[in-house]
Amino acid sequence: MAGETVKTAAVCLRIVPWSRTSHIVQWLTPAGKVTTVVKGAVRPKSLFLGQYDLNYTCEIVYYAHGRGDLHALREAAPLDRRDALRGDYRALALAGYFRANVADHAPQGPEAAEWLRLLTTSLDALAARGGDRADAAFFVGRLLAFEREVLKLAGLLPEIAFEDGAATLRGERSIPVPAAVARCLARPLDEKKMEILLDAARVFGVFYAFHLDSALDARRSVLKVIS
């Protein structure tokens, strides 16, 4: 791929200023993460103005340099802006958590396509409710559903065993949990009680702490915002 021009769909993960007028933009594509430099991105007459932003799905064209991981963005056109996310601060905060999580853990190569699917469907679900005053249970349920899929894609999803009316999460460590919490972990979008959702969030927090190199402070902050 080095020395070639690549055209692909991608979700905008991160935007960092590179100079007074340029950006460095990280994308998630079906083949993995791609980092591009966008020269003159914020100049008044730039062709890139309004063509990409956080949470956008875009069609991008970039030149893959033979050396290094920073490529030159040639074109960007929005396919889905998800403007509704801007109408609800909780949806926007959770979308940021989704992007950061994927940016930290998504692999390079063909397996990235499943991570792109997860991010796209998760952002779409939030955008569908953006500005709709969804209750806290909706957002916490969405967080848990996303984290469940992350653990599954990473091969870390715990087995849930029910024995004699009790539930146990089995992995490298066995964690006894109430049956209602275990059911919530299996199907988080079906749960409406905040107490159970938050208990389930604490359980997944244990797995994130022990198995994934995650920013748990950021997770706690997002949970506080959405609940």
| pLDDT band of 156, cuts 50, 70, 90 | confident
Domain range 4-80, its CATH number among 3.40.50.1950, 3.40.50.300, 2.60.40.1180, 2.40.50.140: 2.40.50.140
- Three-state SS for 223? helix
Measured distance CA(28)–CA(30) in Å, rounded: 7
- Which residues, including other chains, have CB under 8 Å from residue 225's CB and lie 6 or more apart? 89, 90, 93, 94
Q: Which residue has the higher pLDDT, 112 or 129?
A: 112
Q: 172 pLDDT exceeds 90?
A: no
What pLDDT is stored for residue 69 in this prediction? 85
- Strands (E) across the chain are located at 4-17, 23-29, 32-38, 57-64, 70-80, 159-163, 166-170, 174-177
Query: What one-letter code names the amino acid at 39?
Result: K
Kindly state the average pLDDT of the residues 124-148.
Answer: 88
More confident residue, 121 or 3: 121
Domains of the chain: which residue ranges? 4-80, 84-226
DSSP bridge pairs for 9:
59
Give the list of residues 6+ apart from residue 44 with CB closer than 8 angstroms, or none: none
Of 14-23, 113-122, 165-174, 192-201, the range with the lowest mean pLDDT is 165-174
pTM: predicted TM-score of the whole model, two decimal places: 0.92
Q: Residue 189 has what pLDDT?
A: 96
